[in-house]
Chains A and B, each alone.
Chain A
Amino acid sequence: MKNKETILNLEELTVSAKNQILVDNISFTLKQGEIISLIGASGSGKSTILRSINRLADYDSGLDVQGKILLHGKDIYRDFSINQLRTHIGLVFQKPCIFPGSINRNVLFGVRHHRHLNKEDATGLVEDVLKKAHLWQEVKDRLHQPAENLSIGQKQRLSFARTLAVDPEVLMLDEPTSNLDPHSTNEIERCLLEMKDSKSIILVTHSLEQGRRVSDRTIFLSATSGVGRVIEEGDTVLLFRKPELEETRKYMSGTAG
């Protein structure tokens, strides 16, 4: 893991709303093919961190973002246009959001704005990403039916496929399974593991078990007095075996958060 290329680099990221700090001084690096899980109580700024990395925080929500975020060493705030950045870094939200129209349309919703797809390309791509998102078997006979009729777990995998279709090198997922049934949860975890080689992934989760099952490295956040901070981070196996701080131990044993 050590000599792998660094993809994403956060340096002293501090995000604040009007006069309130939401997350304070976050630094970490994401390496090629790595899965990092961000774990912490709700309100500890996990979503805010992800939203800063794809610029929803500053550009769309008007939050103040300080510090540096580097993608391949280039400043995401200066060296990329927003749309370009978002083709490199994809985000899957907690609540699946399905656009009106067919399953097919939803899968192609983003990608068709980035490259020209002829009919065969499109068909192939839809099949490919739906397979990767472990949804193909369930929907292959009704690609042209409204996506609205899918179950919530299927919708989440569809959102996932939609993000994959844009082919970002960094994938961020914000509690993607918190509303899902065990089957869909399991499918999503499996696809994350299968995708490890080609993608670098940041997974926000409040489930310790999920973090342990999926991630290589874990970052624990706390929300003391409403400000999100990193309390402990490290290799997932080691961290779970022997957390250094009392707070992490408390969180793990379920007495905090």
Chain B
Amino acid sequence: MRNFWRKLRDNFFTCYSFLCGFMVLGILGLGTVLVFHKGLSALSVSFLISPMKESGISGGILYQIVGTFITLISTLVIVLPFSLATALFRSFYIKSVLLKKAFTVFLYTLNGVPSIIFGLVGFVFFVKYLELGKSWLTGGLLLAIMILPTTALALSEGINRIPKEYIENASSLGLKPSAIIFTVLLPQSFASFISGLLIGIARAIGETAPIMFTATVFAGATFPHGIKESPILSLPYHIFNLAQESYHAQALQNAWGSACVLIMIVFVLSFCSLPFRLTVHQEAKMS
């Protein structure tokens, strides 16, 4: 009898976890199918390579794509050194266990800050106080801060997985700390770091809230010409605006098309992180 209950309970939990697993996959799948179903018909080569016309009712999304990639690259360039510093700080410079925990909680908290807050703070500080106006650089910076916890934690965990023998061997050969960072720590946590970066970036380029007051406009921008008052167009903000014109069928159609492109970029970035994820467990192996 007891056996029966235990079996039932085990089966119940097995079913339950499978159900939840499939639900997550299902939601993702359904959303993707929906976006592609609605958007594919708007997609064409000329849609991708021509600039927007008539407030998005006709024309394409060339400069939205350009702007999104500019954001992506500036985010990447900014987040790299900051992640490195943050990860080294967490992995090595905090000696006390308590402080390390506190710092980790801080990073998770930063990770949980709603992105609109980044937008507002960025607006007050960069746009108004520093009088930068809307600028692609502010966008990159805010998105970089937003994904910093993801990338820094990934790198820090990667570094923590390196057996300390490697570090001790390198130190014993007389390598300076900077040399150890570049010849041992970074190469041997590379996979974790890249997968963290790609996932962070994939998240960042889909965000509207941090950039809509600080970096991006709906129309009238092409390539940035400087830093001050130099906004860009971007895919998420484009979708956001077109979707508000839902009474106009063609605009809505183009919104789905843009969503398609955005989701494809996100997927490509996430899939790129897959091989790195898979090698993470190998990199820490000791002879």
Contacts and interface: CB of A to CB of B under 8 A. Distances in A.
Q: Do A and B share a complex? A: yes
A113 B174 contact: yes
Contacts of A113: 173-176, 179
A90 B188 contact: no
A10 interface: no
Interface residues of B, number: 21
Interface in A83-101: 83-87, 90-91, 93, 95-100
Interface stretch (A64-72, A159-167, A206-214, A231-239): A159-167
Interface in B165-179: 165-176, 179
A99 B174 contact: no
Contacts of B173: 86, 90, 109-111, 113, 162-163, 166
Nearest to A90: B172
Nearest to B171: A60
A180 B43 CA distance: 64
Interface string A121-158: 00000000000000000000000000010001001000
Contacts, number: 68
A114 B174 contact: yes
Contacts of A87: 174
B172 A91 contact: yes
A97 B176 contact: no
Interface in B155-173: 163, 165-173
B179 A56 contact: no
A90 B179 CA distance: 18
A152 B287 CA distance: 8
A211 to B, nearest CB: 23
A37 interface: no
B184 interface: yes
B168 A93 contact: yes
Nearest to A150: B287
A9 interface: no
B2 interface: no
Contact of A97 (B169, B175, B187): B169
A48 interface: no
Contact of A96 (B171, B174, B287): B287
Given A62-B95, A96-B287, A56 B174 contact: no
A110 B175 contact: yes
Contacts of A166: 173-174
Given A62-B95, A93-B165, A152-B287, A56 B175 contact: no
Given A97-B165, A97-B287, A110 B187 contact: no
Instruction: Report which residue of B168, B172, B174 has the largest number of chain A beta carbons within 10 angstroms of its beta carbon.
Output: B172
Contacts of A114: 174
A218 interface: no
B286 interface: yes
A54 interface: yes
B88 to A, nearest CB: 15
B187 A148 contact: no
B174 A159 contact: no
Interface in B131-167: 163, 165-167
Contacts of A62: 95
A82 B170 CA distance: 12
A159 B171 contact: no
B183 interface: yes
Given A56-B168, A62-B95, A93-B165, A86 B287 contact: no
Nearest to A155: B287
A97 B286 contact: yes
A163 B172 CA distance: 9
Nearest to B190: A100
Given A62-B95, A87-B174, A148 B287 contact: yes
B165 A83 contact: no
B174 A110 contact: yes
B181 to A, nearest CB: 12
A83 B174 contact: yes
Given A85-B174, A97-B165, A97-B286, 7 more contacts: A60-B168, A86-B173, A95-B287, A97-B168, A99-B170, A109-B183, A110-B174
Interface of B: 95, 163, 165-176, 179, 183-184, 187-188, 286-287
5 contacts: A54-B172, A60-B168, A97-B168, A97-B287, A109-B183
Interface of A: 54, 56, 60, 62, 82-87, 90-91, 93, 95-100, 109-111, 113-114, 148, 152, 155, 159, 162-163, 166
